[in-house]
A = this chain, B = another copy of it.
Amino acid sequence: MPSPEPVTAALVVIGDEILSGRTKDVNIGTTADYCTELGIELREVRVVSDVEDEIIAAVNAVRARYTYVFTTGGIGPTHDDITADAVAKAFGVALPINAEARAMMEERWKQSGTEVNEARLRMARIPVGASLIANSVSAAPGFRIGNVHVMAGVPKIMQAMLEAIRPTLRGGDRIKSITLRCRVGEGTIGGPLGQIQQEFPDVKMGSYPQMGQSFVMTELVLRSADELRLAEAAARVREMVAEAHRAAGLSPEVEAY
């Protein structure tokens, strides 16, 4: 049975504050977890500065390659928020004030006594042909155009927008994983692990050293959409690690989860 086409994604993080170190990004980790949960393979992330041509180039490069593109950052009311402008240009469409977006925001502003001004109305500019992404936190919406989902950079708002679009995304086969804890260094098991990997090209095996002051440990993570093959591969790796434990004078058990 041939595997179904994988569902893939890229994330474009937009903002000088990430590149200067002033803000430490958390949206990459959130998006990675979200995609894994949905069976979407996040294949690439780019962090770009608040420069229109850079945003356009990044969005155009990834939207042609992946099922979905997510962007975070640059959709607020100030002059440095240029993501909507850049995405409209990437798609070659105009960026007028959107009546629905304006109504959403004006309703919220009326409740809070917030003045409608030109800066705030910048946030109602939506590319022609885009649909809105609801913002349950602060009303100013994101939008989806083609396969590109434009979201806020503030983590709380970005997470609310990911929840808003969840029902619209097609998930892929959920990747299952098994982690084995190996109590010797990865240099010791690297050779035999590579051999088992060759026998199981459909099970991705990653090796991640954990370093403490006084211990060596290696986490081996096996990932596959095929649960049976994953279990077979895990049994082989487990046996190999038990042998390595024995050879190192350790008890052979291998913790797995």
Contacts and interface: CB of A to CB of B under 8 A. Distances in A.
Interface in A35-61: 35-36, 41-50, 54
B154 A211 contact: yes
A204 B19 CA distance: 14
Given A79-B193, A221-B22, A117 B45 contact: no
Interface residues of A, number: 69
B46 A46 contact: yes
Interface in A164-191: 175, 177, 185-191
Interface stretch (A25-33, A83-91, A94-102): A25-33
B54 A36 contact: no
Contacts of A20: 32, 36, 42, 175, 223
A205 B80 contact: yes
A112 to B, nearest CB: 10
Contact of A115 (B21, B76, B138, B188): B188
Contacts of A211: 137-138, 154, 156-157
Given A29-B21, A186-B78, A154 B191 contact: no
Contacts of A23: 208
Given A45-B46, A46-B44, A119-B187, A76 B25 contact: no
Contacts of A80: 197, 205-207
Given A45-B45, A137-B211, 18 more contacts: A19-B42, A20-B175, A21-B42, A28-B47, A44-B47, A50-B206, A77-B187, A77-B190, A78-B189, A78-B194, A78-B207, A79-B194, A80-B206, A81-B207, A119-B189, A120-B187, A138-B211, A157-B211
Interface of A: 13, 16-25, 28-29, 32-36, 41-50, 54, 76-81, 114-115, 117-120, 122-123, 137-138, 154, 156-157, 175, 177, 185-191, 193-194, 197, 204-209, 211, 221, 223
13 contacts: A22-B177, A25-B28, A44-B46, A45-B45, A45-B46, A50-B206, A76-B186, A76-B209, A77-B187, A78-B186, A114-B185, A119-B190, A119-B191
